[in-house]
């Protein structure tokens, strides 16, 4: 399958859709301290959080500090269930989480790729949704380039590993991933997607930058 890089020129107000290249001012973390604390994270998430070790695991580079902290807290309380991450988050203090969030938010994400066939299916869904099915556009929360919204804790999804995105959409659809304030929104969206659409959106999102 021919693969093409989605180099999108669309822009949005910086106050709403952050690029994720700088430390998040909403979280008072120390990126320098976070760098040493993130050493153990590299075993799964790669150096700088770029997720090149296993596409089933997420990229963290450029992710908003607010979202990183929120997810680490959810793993620690077992609200978001993952045995590996529960073990990793259990010993983290609030300051540790803030430092890790600051570190990962400051890392430059490596661009991904999207398949040409995926674009045909996913682009309309991502940008406009499907009113006939009551399906909201992904860009309404995640922005035109997938940069997200740190203040609202909508995560950066542009460039995210496709296999990871497929898994998350399917767990939202099944109700397995139910923790977090945005879970009901994502569950409602994912419930309306076919497996083909989920695969296409995951590939499309991987190419957003």
Residue 130 and residue 100 in one domain: no
Residue 98 and residue 172 in one domain: no
Q: By three-state DSSP, how is residue 3 classified?
A: strand
Is residue 199 situated within a structural domain?
Answer: yes
pLDDT over 70 percentage in the chain: 89
Residue 193 and residue 129 in one domain: yes
The domain boundary residue, chosen from 74, 105, 136: 105
Residue 118 and residue 203 in one domain: yes
Q: Convert 158-184 to b/e letters by CB count within 10 Å (16 or more is b).
A: bbbbbbbbbbbbbbbbeeebeebebbe
pTM: 0.87
- Of 180, 103, 189, 84, the C-alpha closest to 142 is 189
Residue 124 and residue 143 in one domain: yes
Residue 59 and residue 128 in one domain: no
Regions of the chain where pLDDT drops below 70: 1-23
Is residue 81 situated within a structural domain?
Answer: yes
Domain that holds residue 35: 31-105
Is residue 12 situated within a structural domain?
Answer: no
Count of CB atoms within 10 A of residue 41's CB?
A: 18
Is residue 21 situated within a structural domain?
Answer: no
pLDDT in tens, 21-55: 445 777 899 999 999 999 999 999 999 999 999 99
The domain boundary residue, chosen from 84, 105, 126: 105
Number of domains in the chain: 2
CATH of residue 72's domain is: 1.10.760.10
């Amino acid at each position: 399958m021919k693969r093409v890089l989605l180099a999108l020129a669309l822009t949005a107000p910086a106050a709403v859709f952050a690029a994720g290249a700088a430390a998040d001012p909403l979280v008072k973390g120390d990126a320098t301290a976070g760098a040493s604390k993130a050493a153990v994270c590299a075993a799964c998430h790669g150096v700088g959080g770029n997720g090149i070790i296993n596409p089933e695991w997420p990229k963290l580079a450029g992710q908003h500090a607010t979202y990183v902290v929120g997810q680490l807290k959810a793993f620690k309380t077992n609200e978001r269930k993952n045995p590996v991450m529960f073990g990793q988050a259990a010993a983290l203090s609030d300051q540790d989480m803030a430092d890790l969030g600051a570190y990962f938010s400051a890392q430059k994400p490596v661009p991904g790729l999207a398949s040409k066939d995926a674009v045909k299916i996913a682009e309309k869904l991502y940008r406009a949704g499907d009113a006939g099915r009551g399906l909201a556009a992904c860009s309404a929360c995640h922005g035109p380039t997938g940069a997200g919204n740190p203040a609202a804790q909508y995560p950066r999804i542009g460039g995210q590993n496709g296999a990871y995105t497929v898994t998350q959409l399917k767990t939202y659809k099944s109700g397995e991933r139910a923790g977090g304030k945005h879970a009901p929104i994502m569950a409602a969206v994912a419930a309306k997607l076919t497996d083909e659409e989920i695969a296409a959106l995951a590939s499309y999102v991987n190419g957003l930058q």
